[in-house]
Structure 1
Amino acid sequence: MNKIVPISLLFFLIGTVSLFAQAKKDTVLVVKDTSKLQEIDPLTPAKAAFYSAILPGLGQAYNKKYWKIPLVYGAIGTSLYFYIDNNKKYHDYRDEYKRRLEGYGPGTGGKYDFLDDSRLIAGQKFYQRNRDLSLLFVVGFYALNIIDANVDAALIQFNVNERLSLRPEVYPDAITFKPNVGLTFNYHF
């Protein structure tokens, strides 16, 4: 009798485990048809460019490329900082040179008393050139922001799937067995 209780308990556990093991749900595989064309909105690139023109980085947010927003503001902000700094130094050199032309000589309490007139003129030219280049960079990064949003929005709609591939290939020549370089374009049906 002592052996019957553990054996019946063992059969009971095995039966319960097999009952739960057989209660598995059926799975259905759904195959996505990749040959159907997605609907293309031709205004999406124009919207993204318009948003970036209104507020830099807004087009990147529209395209859901949030990681580009700090790059846009970093580039425009850095260029703008250098524009403001070079403009301030240009005006400092210019004001000091104007003081000299009014008759205040070196040693009369100016900011750049230690420089002679030729150095003040050279400093004005240097900072004016750097100021103008910085402004050019501000405008360039602003335009690049708009172009990036436009191109990125256009490329989001570009059809790329696994059946289309382009890759370089190195194959031996049939006669000399020297390696040849080629480019293969494969399309799998």
Structure 2
Amino acid sequence: MRTLGIFFSLWLWSGVMVVKAQQTATDSLQKRLSKAVSSLAADSTVLDSLKNKKVSKSSLAKSSLNDAALKKHSPRKAAYYSLMFPGLGQAYNRQYWKMPFVYGGLGAVVYFIRFYHIRYQDFLWPYYFSYDLTTGKQLRTEAEVFLRSQNQTRTLTLDRITQGKDFYRRYRDLNFLLVVGVWALAAVEANVSAHLKTFDMSEDLSFRFEPDTYNNSFTGQVYGVKVVVPIK
């Protein structure tokens, strides 16, 4: 009986040891699996960080290219090109939709120059033929003038012919000045548009709040908030 008891106790002890060995094996497997999972997570975070770095580098490269292109875009060149030829400054700014307005304004002014010049010529020749070009003596008091607005020829006095000649000449010369004005306005518009293209519209222009401290003679160091408005 004593021998049986010893054998039974040894059998129980061996079973307990086997169970403990199995538990330690499963624990070691769980630890290895957790380590493998954590390593995979770390690798994924590393990959994500590398991807983010690549994306940030590409975005920085694109932003640097855009900044370089904006720096090369000169408002002075836009004004010079527009002064050289109307609409060329707008083409330099890649604002092609503005070119028809420039040519439309110039075309309208040129049309009125021709309109007033033709009528000025209609009054000019009867006025010349009413005087002797060598002595300046008045030869007649009336002359025939073709009135284009009425599409007929009428006999007018020399005073009316002089008034008509001066009227159409004055408005013709005024439209010559308008050509210069429209041309200069196109150059100014090209210069301003080029300045707006190179204007910094980043988030750094907006104001922000930052913590601040200052020393007070009564209360000592005081903590507060300051508003920062960057000016470029």
TM-score (norm 2): 0.51
TM, length-normalised to structure 1: 0.61
Q: In the TM superposition, what is the alpha-carbon distance from 1:52 to its structure 2 partner? A: 1.3
Selected match of 2:94 from 43, 64, 67: 64
Distance 2:80 2:204 in 1: 34
Alignment RMSD: 3.3
How many Å apart are 1:95 and its aligned residue?
0.9
Gaps of 5+ in 1: 1-25, 167-184
- State the aligned residue count: 142
AA at the equivalent of 1:127 = Y
SS of residue in 1 equivalent to 2:154: coil
Query: Which residue pairs with 1:54 in the alignment?
Result: 84
Taking only the aligned residue pairs, the percentage that are identical comes to: 38
1:94 to 112, 121, 124: 124
1:106, 1:114 within 8 Å by CA — same for their partners in 2?
yes
Offset, 1:86: 1.1
Structure 1 residue 139: Cα displacement: 0.5
1:64 counterpart SS class: coil
Q: Which segments of 5 or more consecutive residues in structure 2 lack a partner in the other structure?
A: 1-47, 133-138, 147-152, 208-226
Distance 1:124 1:186, change over 3 A: farther
Q: Which has the higher contact order (CA 8 A, sep 6+)?
A: 1
Counterpart contact for 1:106–1:113, Cα < 8 Å: no
Match in the other structure for 1:78: 108
Q: Which amino acid aligns with 2:91?
A: A
Higher helix share: 2
Instruction: Find the residue that maps to 2:155 and give its secondary structure.
Output: coil
Q: For residues 88 and 49 of structure 1, do their structure 2 counterparts lie closer, same or farther at Cα, with a shift above 3 Å needed?
A: same
How far apart, CA to CA, are the structure 1 residues paired with 2:177 and 2:122? 22
Question: d(CA) in 2 for partners of 1:45 and 1:95?
Answer: 48
* C-alpha contact (below 8 Å) 1:50/1:59 kept by paired residues: yes
Rg bigger for which structure? Answer: 2
Give the match's secondary structure for 2:163.
helix
Amino acid corresponding to residue 158 of structure 2 in structure 1: D
Q: Give the aligned partner of residue 134 of structure 1.
A: 175
Asked if structure 1 preserves the Cα contact closer than 8 Å seen for 2:141 and 2:158, the reply is no
Aligned to 1:158: 199
